[in-house]
Structure 1
Amino acid sequence: MATTTKPLIISAPEPRSIDLIFTDVAKEALYDRYRIVEVEQHKVDELPEETLAEARYILGQPPLSPELLARLQNLRCVLNVESNLINNMPYETLFQRGIHVVTTGAVFAEPVAEIGLGMALDLARGISQSDAAFRTGTELWGGDGNSTARLLSGAEVGIIGFGDLGRTLNRLLTGFRCTIRVFDPWLPPSILTDHGVVPSSLDTVLTQSDFIFVMAAVTAENKSFLDAEAFASMRKGANFILLSRADVVDFDALLAAVRSGHIQAATDVFPEEPLAADHPARSVPGLLLSAHRAGALDIAFKRMGDMVLEDMTLMDRGLPPMRCKRAERETVARMRSKPVDRN
């Protein structure tokens, strides 16, 4: 009786791990349906020729040189579970060969959007500042503690970047009856209007918003595009929430704008992580800090495994991946986000 050889997966998901991204049930299904060869990212090219030639999937996004890619004769998909599409492989060759490159980054949309909403409410109502004052005996009671407070309900909101993060945030804001303006140069206006938001220029978003949420990925075109001039153009007292990547912001200019009292801000990301103990951001009043933890929930990591299994099942049947987000030929090489080195 003939036996069927299970498809082979090269597993190099650093900084993730199989145990992190798969539930026990999903992990059992993974090993039941596939053969797994685990390897460190930088050692994929040291695998035996027969392993490379047979591999159907790569879990992770290890560096793939043109020479290494040529040895991966049966490769169908690179499943990036780090979330950032990294410029470490010959994408044009991958596309020519019909090899998919996909990312599971969408799993972070809900947790990031939720913490962004929490940050906005904290900035608007001084929640953490009031708590800190209470602990030092300097609290202000009643209206005296609300001299700078404002409502998110009915506010004018700007969103910069309308991918998975921006769209999820927009959905969460529905109940607040905000006017929501969006700047995203990679999307046509009709997609924005279909989501009930107002397509807007960057200048309009900056100058007409009480709350500005930055959800944009770093690209070859937008590094540090939110600079001192951008911050100066914002309404006095505006609330700026940075949730995607720090490199879209001139971070020194952001700190200066907050320190001057012109705006308040919250950030989950920083130019260098972890943040140095003596970094000036740690002592700027009006700046709410979070240690790049917005998306790092176990439930999000486990959703990665479910997405990966579903898409591999589709591809095993000769269908395209549908759950993970596919890299696009026109934009993938323009991405410039730094890969994360911790979960």
Structure 2
Amino acid sequence: MPKVLISDKMDPKAAQIFRARGVEVDEITGKTPEELKAIIGQYDGLAIRSATKVTQEILDAATNLKVVGRAGIGVDNVDIPAASAKGVVVMNTPFGNSITTAEHAIALMFALARQLPEADASTQAGKWEKNRFMGVELTNKTLGLVGAGNIGSIVADRARGLKMKVVAYDPFLTPERAIELGIEKADLDTLLSRADFITLHTPLTDQTRNILSAENLAKTKKGVRIINCARGGLIDEAALKAGLDSGHIAGAALDVFVTEPAKENGLFGTPNFVSTPHLGASTTEAQVNVAIQVAEQMADYLVNGGVTNALNMPSLSAEEAPKLKPYMALAETLGSLIGQLAHGPLSTISIEVEGAAADLNMKPITGAVLAGLMRVYSDTVNMVNAPFLARERGLDVREVRHDREGDYHTLVRVTVKTEAGERSVAGTLFGNAAPRLIELFGIKVEADLEGHMLYVVNEDAPGFIGRIGTTLGEAGVNIGTFHLGRRSAGGEAVLLLSVDEPVSPELVAKVRVLPGVKTAMALSF
């Protein structure tokens, strides 16, 4: 009989479900890391919320552990790479608290609009300052939605019910999906200039970190009110305070902070600032939902081998897995590459296979492409939920099989359609195992995609390779591999360099100003 440890406080229904499914369960909460290490070796599954930290040390002691289930969305407290290396599946429950979080955002919007916290404190202090608190109506105001995924779309629905106009910025939101939601799709600058209220519903990634930077906050409409119930780090907190102090920003409400628990913060005490202690998921219903979901998912995996909402494992049968594994690695790498390089909103994603790949189950390959592509924008996407997230955003995902025989034994091609046109990358398997890039935006180039890389598009001219090598050498960056391709002699060329450490923004800036360089950017795989 599988055995599970519930190490954080969780609704009792979780334990009931485990037992009903034939899984033995212990509820032991509040353990220190050392105490957890001493007992974790006897368990097949670990069910957690946010308190338990599943570190490398815990995983090393977890000699029988097969699955970690997080009752909630965020998995910042789980070392996923270490879990993957140990063969431990990590699951979360990404949709159990969506309504709760969306409602909290709406509640904070009302609190800002009518200055409810200040009015409450004043009234209970016996002041009765009726003329001091002049609020604003939400009706006919414009709500700027940064992120129109599951939670964002619920917020949009509630806001429309309040007779608000909703403008959304989301790279994966198609015009068709926007029409379905009854909202207007816009670029970020347009949203910032028009919104009376801005609410954030996007994960924290390299692309979204400080998406409301000092520069972007300066682009907002004077008198804007800002709400964040998503992730700390999406807003430059110092710039937000400066905007509140100057009066450019009329109010702000944060449920999340860069540093949590936020017992000290420069925003505290600022007029027109409202804060809550990360309460987005804190309702009775949400706690019950995520507890039930994590127990059902973990029990299904431990008893039947079913995989749902796994962050590091695709949905695969035991028979398919060995054959599909290298193809999924290739597909995810190609998706990651085009996701990092294809700028602007995407409308269509086409996955084509030919040769040996055409005889395989395409769903895991498609899921791997989408996971690699969308991981640029989301820290919780995986091969299981990537297709759902794509459908949710109205993306047109196309799968194409070719019976023809090409130059390669097997080939996978990923093409995306953006406002700038189509962008395509293709790859094959070297030795039927190792992913290899063979074509990039129509240019033939063979490259291994791994680790830290520098991507450069330049004019094919004598001396360029020397200049790029000198620039990296002066920066103390060691080159691992060097891959070149060009459309024609003297025409456009592409360069992919693997290096031993992350490429800094400062180095990318130096490369961009080299003679002949059209574009340059850092890549990571």
Tell me the residue number matched to 1:83. 73
Structure 2 counterpart of 1:116, which letter?
A
C-alpha contact (below 8 Å) 2:17/2:292 kept by paired residues: no
Bigger proportion of residues as helix = 1
Do the aligned partners of residues 229 and 301 (structure 1) sit closer, same or farther apart at CA in structure 2, a change above 3 Å counting? same
Match of 2:261 in 1: 274
CA distance, structure 2, for counterparts of residue 336 and residue 320 of structure 1 = 19
Aligned to 1:340: none
* Greater relative contact order (CA < 8 Å, ≥ 6 in sequence): 1
Q: Is the 8 A contact 2:202 2:378 kept in 1?
A: no
**Where do 1:1-343 residues align within 5 Å?**
6-9=1-4, 11=5, 13=7, 16-17=8-9, 20-23=10-13, 26-32=14-20, 33-36=22-25, 42=33, 51=42, 55=44, 57-60=45-48, 62-63=54-55, 68=60, 75=66, 77-86=67-76, 88-90=79-81, 93=84, 100-134=89-123, 135-137=125-127, 139-141=129-131, 145-146=133-134, 149-263=135-249, 264-276=251-263, 279-312=265-298, 314-315=300-301, 316-321=303-308, 324=309, 329-330=371-372
| Separation (CA, whole Å) in 1 of partners of 2:377 and 2:298 | 26
Structure 1 pair 102/187, CA: closer, same or farther in 2 (3 Å)?
A: farther
Partner secondary structure for residue 120 of structure 1 = helix
Identity rate of aligned residues, in percent? Answer: 21
Paired with 1:189 and 1:94, the residues of 2 have a C-alpha distance of: 40
Larger Rg: 2
Q: CA deviation at 1:114?
A: 1.6
SS at structure 2 position matched to 1:239 = strand
Specify the code of the residue in structure 1 equivalent to 2:185. P
Is this contact kept in 1: 2:83–2:89, CA < 8 A? Answer: no
Q: 1:244 to 1:189 in 2, by over 3 A?
A: same
Shift of 1:232: 1.2
Unaligned runs of 5+ in 1: 1-5, 338-343
Residues 319, 272 of structure 1: alpha-carbon distance in 2 compared, 3 angstrom cutoff: closer
What SS does the aligned partner of 1:205 have? helix
Q: Which runs of 5+ in 2 are unaligned?
A: 313-367, 381-525
Residues 213-234 of structure 1: CA distance to partner in whole angstroms, max 9, x if unpaired?
0122211332223111111111
Paired residues in the alignment total 310
Q: Do the aligned partners of 1:210 and 1:239 also contact (CA within 8 Å) in 2? A: yes
Amino acid at match of 2:54: P
Distance 1:48 1:292 in 2: 29
Q: CA deviation at 1:196?
A: 2.8
Report the AA paired with residue 103 of structure 2. Answer: E
* CA-CA distance at 1:235 after TM superposition: 0.8
User: How far apart in 1 are the matches of 2:213 and 2:243?
Assistant: 10
Which amino acid is the alignment partner of residue 29 of structure 1? I
Work out the CA distance in 1 between the residues paired with 2:94 and 2:85: 20
1:186: how far off? 4.7
Runs of 4+ in 1 over 6 A off after TM superposition: 333-337
1:251-298 CA-partner distances (Å, limit 9, x unpaired): 000111111111111111222233345x43222111112222232233
Q: CA RMSD in A?
A: 3.6
- 1:276 and 1:320 mapped to 2: Cα distance? 39
Matches of 1:47 and 1:128, distance apart in 2: 45
Larger fraction in strand: 2
The DSSP-based 3-state class of the residue aligned with 1:304 is helix
Amino acid of the residue matched to residue 113 of structure 1? A
Flag the 1:71–1:276 CA change in 2: closer, same or farther, 3 A. Answer: closer
SS at 1:106 equivalent: coil
Query: Could you tell me how far apart the structure 1 residues matched to 2:60 and 2:120 are?
Result: 56
Contact 1:64 1:90 in 2 (8 A): no
CA–CA separation in structure 2 for the residues paired with 1:48 and 1:118:
40
Contact 2:96–2:286 under 8 Å retained in 1: yes
Find the aligned partners of 2:84 and 2:375 in 1 and give their Cα distance.
13
Decide whether the 8 Å contact of 1:220 with 1:335 is kept in 2: no
Structure 1 CA distance for aligned equivalents of residues 270 and 242 of structure 2: 9
SS of residue in 2 equivalent to 1:280: coil
Describe the shift of the 1:47–1:304 C-alpha distance in structure 2 as closer, same or farther (beyond 3 A). same
